[in-house]
Amino acid sequence: MTKKISVGIADMKIARQEGELITYALGSCIGVAFYDPMIKLGALLHIMLPEKNMSESNVYKFADSGIKETLRKLYAFGAMKGRLVIKIAGGAKMFEMKGAGGLGNIGERNAQNVKRVLAAEGLRVAKEDTGANYARTMSLDVSTGQVYIRSAGKKERML
Amino acid sequence: MAISRYEEMNDMKLDIFKEMGSIGGGNAATALSSMLNARVSMALPRAEILEFNDALARLGDPEIVIAGVLVELTGEIQGIMLFIIPEEFSDEVLFRMLGKTRTALLELDEIESSVLTEIGNIVISSYVTALSSLAGVEVELSVPQLAVNMLGGIMSLPMAMMGQQSDRIMMVTGEFNIDDKALNSGMLLLPDVESLNILMKKLGVD
């Protein structure tokens, strides 16, 4: 039995060698899995909004501040930029919205900004499963680096 | 005193929303009662301001499939309302309306979907009517939308909306009794902070 480590909303967890990092039911939010296969170091980040707009808030809520803080920690634990494998999932459109401050396409904006921030850090996304209109549970097995996605009414698949 | 974040709401201010939930819920129960041809009542609702992960935990397993009916509010109050229908609630309603026994939420057909949308619409409209008459504000409602999916995914929209201003969410939850059978449901009333201030001012609690 691998140990499950649950990652909440606007949260990030790091594990080394073993364990399964898992975040449940990503809707418009994005899960970003980081993995350095050489040292078997993994992180799973669950962001909710594209850009940081307030100072006192949780850094992991936003794509920009969340990715930067996760990378800072991973590098401190010995991860190397050139070895990092990054996979993302989520960014769905759960409802068709007209008003409400441009929230209709929040999932799409999250996905775009995650990729933009990663690119600015010199990193690219190896695999992604984003968009559509359903939620995804994402997990990262830290012993192997494998990422799994499951959705309601669909079979679990490897990303 | 005007607030700038949800965190600044105190118990007295929250009580106003509980009261509004209670009146709205009473109206909703009456409307549901005639639609379902059954005795419907509502237990005293709870109004809480919770951190995102706590709010989700309160509603249940994030991976459980639920139906959500969403309406956007515009006019003097801006925001959204979301009515959460768990499978047990849906089963009861579909049985009473269409004589169906057990339909998995993911397999709803068009008629079943429109019944659930209408139930959500009735409940939401009853709340909004209570709110607008109590506070004397004009509120317009969008066409209701139904989504069936994992609870966590459905909740990501209201959370993202509140997330722009806060790390918390305001939730009014209540339990309907249909012919003495207790059925949980969730009602999320999410005015933006500016609208919250307007409401509190109109209600005389600012």
DSSP3 helix / strand / coil % (chain A, rounded to 5): 25, 35, 40
Which pLDDT value is given to residue B188? 80
B198 CA to centre of own chain: 20
> Stretch B194-204: mean pLDDT, rounded?
82
Q: Say yes or no: A144 contacts chain B, CB-CB below 8 A.
A: no
Task: Looking at the complex, report in whole angstroms how far the Cα of residue B146 sits from the nearest Cα belonging to chain A.
Answer: 8
Domains of chain A: 4-158 (3.30.1330.200)
Q: How far is CA A6 from CA A12, A144, A150, B87, B159, in A?
A: 9, 18, 15, 25, 19
Question: Which residue has tokens 């974040």?
Answer: B5
Q: Is the pLDDT of residue B1 over 70?
A: no
CA-wise closest residue to A114 among A25, A28, A2, A18: A28
Look at domain B6-202 and name its CATH class: alpha beta
DSSP state string for A51-90: S---SSS-GGGBHHHHHHHHHHHHHHTT--GGG-EEEEEE
Task: Looking at the complex, report in whole angstroms how far the Cα of residue B63 sits from the nearest Cα belonging to chain A.
Answer: 6
- Minimal Cβ distance to A94: which of B106, B142, B147: B147
Which pLDDT value is given to residue A150? 96
Give the DSSP letter of residue B142. Answer: P
Which pLDDT value is given to residue A1? 57
Could you tell me the two tokens for B149? Answer: 């999916």
Chain A residues within an 8 Å CB radius of B149: 27, 94, 133-135, 152
Question: Which residue has tokens 């806060």?
Answer: B166
> Stretch B49-73: mean pLDDT, rounded?
90
> Stretch A54-76: mean pLDDT, rounded?
91
The percentage of chain B sitting over the pLDDT mark of 70, rounded to a whole number, equals: 98
**Contact call for residues B6 and B168 (beta carbons, < 8 A):** yes
Where in the sequence numbering do the catalytic residues of A fall?
A: 29
Which pLDDT value is given to residue B110? 92
| pLDDT confidence tier of residue A4, bands split at 50, 70 and 90 | very high
| pLDDT confidence tier of residue B70, bands split at 50, 70 and 90 | very high
Alpha-carbon distance A86 to B131, whole Å? 47
Chain B residues within an 8 Å CB radius of A57: 167
Alpha-carbon distance A2 to A8, whole Å? 19
List pLDDT tens digits, range B17-49: 778 778 888 888 888 898 888 898 888 778 888
> Stretch B5-21: mean pLDDT, rounded?
76
**For chain B, domain boundaries:** 6-202
Task: Looking at the complex, report in whole angstroms how far the Cα of residue B39 sits from the nearest Cα belonging to chain A.
Answer: 32
Which pLDDT value is given to residue A101? 56
List pLDDT tens digits, range A67-92: 999 999 999 999 999 999 999 999 99
Question: Is the Cα dihedral B143, B144, B148, B149 positive or negative?
Answer: positive
Q: Say yes or no: A59 contacts chain B, CB-CB below 8 A.
A: no
Alpha-carbon distance A143 to A81, whole Å? 19
Burial B184-193 (b: 16+ CB within 10 A, else e): bbbbbbbbbb
**Contact call for residues A12 and A44 (beta carbons, < 8 A):** yes
Q: Say yes or no: A9 contacts chain B, CB-CB below 8 A.
A: yes
**Predicted-complex ipTM score:** 0.89
- Minimal Cβ distance to B157: which of A24, A95, A99: A95
Counting Cα atoms < 13 Å in the Cβ hemisphere of A137 gives 21
Q: Is the pLDDT of residue A102 over 70?
A: no
- Minimal Cβ distance to A97: which of B72, B155, B156: B72
- Asked if A27 and B156 come within 8 Å (Cβ–Cβ), the reply is yes
Chain A residues within an 8 Å CB radius of B52: 8-10, 48
- Smallest CA–CA distance from B65 into chain A, residue: A152
Q: Say yes or no: B63 contacts chain A, CB-CB below 8 A.
A: yes
Which pLDDT value is given to residue B31? 87
Task: Looking at the complex, report in whole angstroms how far the Cα of residue A145 sits from the nearest Cα belonging to chain B.
Answer: 23
- Minimal Cβ distance to B62: which of A25, A106, A153: A25
Q: Is the pLDDT of residue B127 over 90?
A: no
